[in-house]
């Protein structure tokens, strides 16, 4: 019969027009767990609205377009004047405007602000991860600026504003502002103390002149940047505005944009300072201590971003296998595919539980919670971001050849998946940071052990893992060579304790068996077949 070869059958419908938040049971439960009762209803309503925005066909199309049309650098105008501007596709601006208006830069001082923002950031990452970079740095700049109260009083209202204004204008004329960051230099990389950018004092009020080159400056279209430079008193933190208050452009020479593996929608640049005006933030010689608040907050966003990418990858895989049929039945009902999907779902839920627990610690702000963050943030940053790439690759494989095609969206997730492990300190930096905390801050380990100890006695595999971890922690002499192993165990035990306390029994049982009890293989899909895997997969299924 004519035309029958073009009849389309057995294709999965697109995963659009649904509430991405409401369909994520692990995320909803984490928000319900950590938000105070007086703000819970408001928070859930707010997140459900954002979830519908993220799931809309229009916003998802904006994400596609922002990546298909990456930013372009314009160093000069038509008359030869140096302008150093970055041009973006309109979809980028639409997305960034939505992110700002959704409160992704406004967690500080808001009741339950960090939990609400964390859930929102995890959702927003699923539609387009690139614009998470300026949103994250703008949010994270607040604690660093508070080292200089006068600066914070001026800039914090701009950073926490719900208004997005992309124009390069004097900061005082803008209803809202975005921040970037520049620490990395070509000779130093992660070793920021080797930075050579020089800062020369101009006056007694904290004004300086910077000269140097930054190898990696994130979001160069931002209104201002926190950078590190060598002042007479040592490595110091500075605020560098793009436009000065009198309306003149600051000297901010964008040499080139980086051609990156993923994160294509977002601009990352090499920039040069040549007599660039800057304002000191904090004391001379204490630049790392000043900027560490920003670094810690962006590290948590790396965890949230990876959790969001994993969730979207798993949602797409489960959705595909729910509709796709092969060998006489649905893929999701095939025992081996069910094992793969359940294994991926475990990784995603564990990441979500850990990320939201850390956000709740920020909201609490107490001494013990701050001590917990000192270990838990770098440990989570190390482990969750490391798991993102294998999860997204395996999820793409669940779609077969369809998952290797750009139209599926899976290749964009795969390209994005290694990023959070590299940015804000790669794996070794995180592992060494945990070792420093263990060696110098006994209260951090005490807080961690109290946290995981709340689940003791609930699962014998978790109890054994805690015991083994304590043995490893008893002797930290020469621990650098085994730092990754140790940090991995810290993260897994913390995830296990959270799932045992809060997740459904079938989820906690499967996690403890495979991740703590050794009853699982190196690849996904190697969970014990005796577990209730169908319930784990059903819990992860997005409702469309």
Q: How many CA atoms lie within 13 A of 540 on its CB side?
A: 36
Q: Are 92 and 131 in contact (CB under 8 A)?
A: yes
Structure tokens at 360: 């709740």
Distance set, CA 313 to CA 58, 383, 393, 413, 436 (Å): 20, 18, 9, 7, 34
Is 289-540 in the same CATH topology as 71-89+103-109+129-285?
Answer: no
Among the residues of 74-131, which ranges form H helices? 90-101, 113-127
| 209 φ/ψ angles, rounded to the nearest 5 degrees | -120, 125
Cα separation, 59 vs 98, whole angstroms:
10
- Of 368, 310, 316, 377, whose CA–CA distance to 344 is shortest? 310
Q: Are 118 and 85 in contact (CB under 8 A)?
A: no
Q: Are 362 and 114 in contact (CB under 8 A)?
A: yes
Q: Which residues of 182-195 are buried (b: 16+ CB within 10 A; e: fewer)?
A: bbbbeeeeeebeeb
User: What is residue 503's predicted lDDT score, i.e. its pLDDT?
Assistant: 98
pLDDT digits 0-9 by tens, 188-232: 777 888 899 999 999 888 999 999 999 999 899 999 999 999 999
Cα separation, 376 vs 494, whole angstroms:
8
List CB contacts of 43: < 8 A, sequence separation 6 or more.
31, 35, 112, 115, 116, 119
Cα separation, 75 vs 253, whole angstroms:
8
User: What is residue 2's predicted lDDT score, i.e. its pLDDT?
Assistant: 58
Structure tokens at 326: 């092969």
Task: Please name every residue paired with 72 in a beta bridge, in sequence order, or none if there are none.
Answer: 87
Which of the following CATH numbers is that of domain 289-540: 3.40.50.300, 1.20.140.10, 3.30.1280.10, 1.10.1740.10?
A: 1.20.140.10
Q: What is the CA radius of gyration of the chain?
A: 24
Structure tokens at 366: 């107490």
User: What is residue 313's predicted lDDT score, i.e. its pLDDT?
Assistant: 98
Query: How many residues does this entry show for the chain?
Result: 544
CATH number of 71-89+103-109+129-285: 2.40.110.20
Token pair 């002042």 is at which residue?
231
User: What is residue 396's predicted lDDT score, i.e. its pLDDT?
Assistant: 98
User: What is residue 543's predicted lDDT score, i.e. its pLDDT?
Assistant: 81
Structure tokens at 145: 């600026």
Q: Are 143 and 365 in contact (CB under 8 A)?
A: no
Question: What's the DSSP call for residue 248?
Answer: P
Q: Where are the domains of the chain?
A: 71-89+103-109+129-285, 289-540
User: What is residue 544's predicted lDDT score, i.e. its pLDDT?
Assistant: 56
User: Which residues of the chain have a pLDDT value below 50?
Assistant: none
Q: How many CA atoms lie within 13 A of 264 on its CB side?
A: 16
Structure tokens at 495: 């995830």
Cα separation, 483 vs 486, whole angstroms:
5
Q: Are 16 and 56 in contact (CB under 8 A)?
A: yes
User: What is residue 110's predicted lDDT score, i.e. its pLDDT?
Assistant: 93
């Amino acid at each position: 019969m004519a035309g029958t070869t073009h009849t389309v059958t057995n294709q999965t419908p697109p995963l659009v027009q649904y509430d991405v938040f409401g369909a994520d049971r692990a995320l909803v439960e984490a928000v319900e767990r950590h938000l105070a009762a007086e703000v819970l209803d408001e928070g859930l309503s707010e997140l459900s609205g954002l979830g519908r925005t993220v799931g809309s066909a229009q916003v998802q199309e904006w994400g596609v377009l922002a990546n298909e049309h990456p930013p372009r650098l314009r160093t000069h105008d038509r008359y030869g004047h140096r302008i150093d501007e970055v041009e973006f596709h309109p979809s980028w601006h639409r997305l960034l405007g939505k992110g700002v208006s959704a409160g992704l830069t406004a967690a500080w001082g808001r009741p339950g602000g960090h939990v609400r923002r964390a859930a929102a950031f995890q959702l927003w990452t699923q539609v387009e991860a690139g614009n998470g970079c300026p949103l994250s740095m703008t949010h994270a700049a607040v604690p660093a600026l508070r080292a200089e109260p006068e600066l914070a009083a001026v800039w914090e209202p701009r950073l926490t504003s719900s208004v997005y204004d992309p124009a390069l204008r004097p900061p005082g004329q803008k209803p809202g502002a975005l921040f970037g960051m520049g620490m990395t230099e070509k000779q130093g990389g992660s070793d920021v103390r080797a930075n050579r950018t020089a800062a020369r004092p101009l006056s007694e009020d904290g004004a300086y002149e910077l000269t140097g080159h930054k190898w990696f400056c994130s979001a160069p279209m931002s209104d201002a940047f926190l950078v590190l430079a060598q002042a007479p008193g040592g490595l110091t933190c500075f605020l560098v505005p793009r436009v000065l208050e009198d309306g003149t452009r600051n000297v901010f020479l964008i040499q080139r944009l980086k051609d990156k593996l993923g994160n294509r929608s977002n601009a990352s640049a090499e920039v040069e300072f040549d007599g660039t005006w800057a304002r000191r933030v904090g004391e001379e010689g204490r630049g790392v201590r000043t900027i560490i608040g920003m670094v810690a907050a962006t590290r948590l966003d790396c965890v949230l971003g990876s959790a969001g990418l994993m969730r979207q990858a798993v949602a797409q895989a489960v959705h595909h296998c729910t509709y796709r049929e092969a060998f006489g039945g649905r893929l999701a009902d095939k025992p081996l595919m069910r094992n793969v999907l359940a294994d991926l779902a475990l990784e995603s839920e564990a990441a979500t539980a850990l990320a939201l627990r850390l956000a709740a610690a920020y909201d609490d702000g107490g001494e013990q919670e701050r001590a917990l963050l000192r270990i838990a943030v770098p440990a989570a940053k190390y482990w969750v971001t490391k798991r993102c790439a294998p999860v997204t690759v395996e999820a793409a494989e669940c779609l077969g050849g369809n998952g290797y095609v750009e139209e599926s969206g899976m290749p964009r997730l795969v390209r994005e998946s290694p990023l959070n492990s590299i940015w804000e300190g790669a794996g070794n930096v995180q592992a060494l940071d945990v070792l420093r905390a263990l060696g110098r801050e006994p209260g951090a380990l005490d807080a961690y052990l109290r946290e995981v100890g709340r689940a003791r006695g609930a699962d014998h595999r978790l109890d054994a893992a805690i015991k083994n971890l304590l043995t490893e922690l008893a002797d930290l002499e020469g621990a650098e060579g085994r730092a990754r192993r140790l940090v991995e165990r810290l993260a897994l035990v913390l995830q296990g304790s959270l799932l045992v306390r809060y997740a459904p029994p079938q989820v906690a049982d499967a996690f403890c068996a495979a991740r703590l009890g050794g009853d699982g293989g190196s690849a996904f899909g190697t969970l014990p077949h005796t577990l209730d895997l169908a319930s784990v997969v059903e819990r992860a299924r997005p409702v469309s």
